[in-house]
Structure 1
Amino acid sequence: MTKSIYVKLSPLALFFFMLVSTTNVQAQDKADTIIGIWEMNDQSAKMEVFRSGDEYQAKLLWGKDITNPDGTSKTDNNNPDAKLKNRDLIGMTYITGLSYDDEEWENGHVYNNANGKWYKCYVWIKKDRLHLRGYLGLPMLGQTTKWNRVK
């Protein structure tokens, strides 16, 4: 014989539970607005932003400076790690660690293949345009690139 346990919630407790559940779903929906394919404002590169566990990352899909004349990928020859110098730049994850908090994605790192270094970064979206700010030390000393949503 099995016994069922029923929990009776007061209307106030039920309302609070539904409010918290709805708020969490809405926050997740807002956080996921970063997911998609983005093209740099000057059309020199494309990236795909995706969710990986609890963070958001991005990989390079195409770029004028990362492809050879025949369309094949250049390699990461400026990487200080000799084991990584031969990896393709196309398809490489170059933004990691972004977490959503209050209208922006923060605590990320962006890789600069021109010098093989990682920089801190954060991202925000304004009018369906992604702004990526990479910096070393203080954000005000950084550089911002703008990306338009492709898909």
Structure 2
Amino acid sequence: MKKGLLLMTLLLVSVVGFSQSADAIVGKWLNKDGNAHIQIYKRGNTYAGKLAWLQAPNNEQGKPKTDSKNPQENLKTRPILGLEILKGFSYNDKNWDDGSIYDPKTGKTYSCNLTLSGNDKLNVRGYIGVSFIGRTDIWTRVK
């Protein structure tokens, strides 16, 4: 009886520990330029992220900035604030892979992987084709 209880406790602790490490990227992150916060959240079994704060959310006319560089004409008028820029990340052995990142400055979407460095740095690797041909930005957790 005691062995069974101990085994159940160890199993529960290992499952909880796994889910906590998979959710470690959930929260707000400051981009490398310091002008935006990205809120990362869990959606089902994958992770996504949206622009939650912009240092300059409005254009010169005082209106909200829009997704004017988007290649799809019908999306060019949507506001950038609240825009989902990270999609489809799956947790895989301390990495979040197989996702995509959208850059509203250029209107381009890239393949992307995320890796935590410590608890407060997130390596964001955007690339085309294979991951060694790309760029890594470091985001900082917002406390």
TM-score by length of 1: 0.82
CA distance in 2, matches of 1:133, 1:101: 15
1:104-115 map, 5 Å:
104-115=95-106
Matched, 1:59 2:50: yes
Residues 15 and 115 of structure 1: is their aligned pair in 2 closer, same or farther, counting only changes over 3 Å?
same
Matched, 1:117 2:117: no
Unaligned runs of 5+ in 2: none
Superposed CA offset, 1:21-51 (max 9, x none): 2211101111111111111233122111111
Secondary structure of 1:38's counterpart equals: strand
CA distance in 1, matches of 2:32, 2:135: 14
The aligned counterpart of 1:20 is 11
Residues 66 and 142 of structure 1: is their aligned pair in 2 closer, same or farther, counting only changes over 3 Å?
farther
For this pair of structures, how many residues does the alignment match? 142
Q: 118, 129, 135: which one pairs with 1:137?
A: 129
Q: CA RMSD in A?
A: 2.1
Runs of 4+ in 1 over 6 A off after TM superposition: none
Secondary structure of 1:30's counterpart equals: helix
Unaligned runs of 5+ in 1: 1-9
CA distance in 1, matches of 2:14, 2:62: 45
The aligned counterpart of 1:6 is none
TM-score by length of 2: 0.86
CA distance in 2, matches of 1:63, 1:44: 6
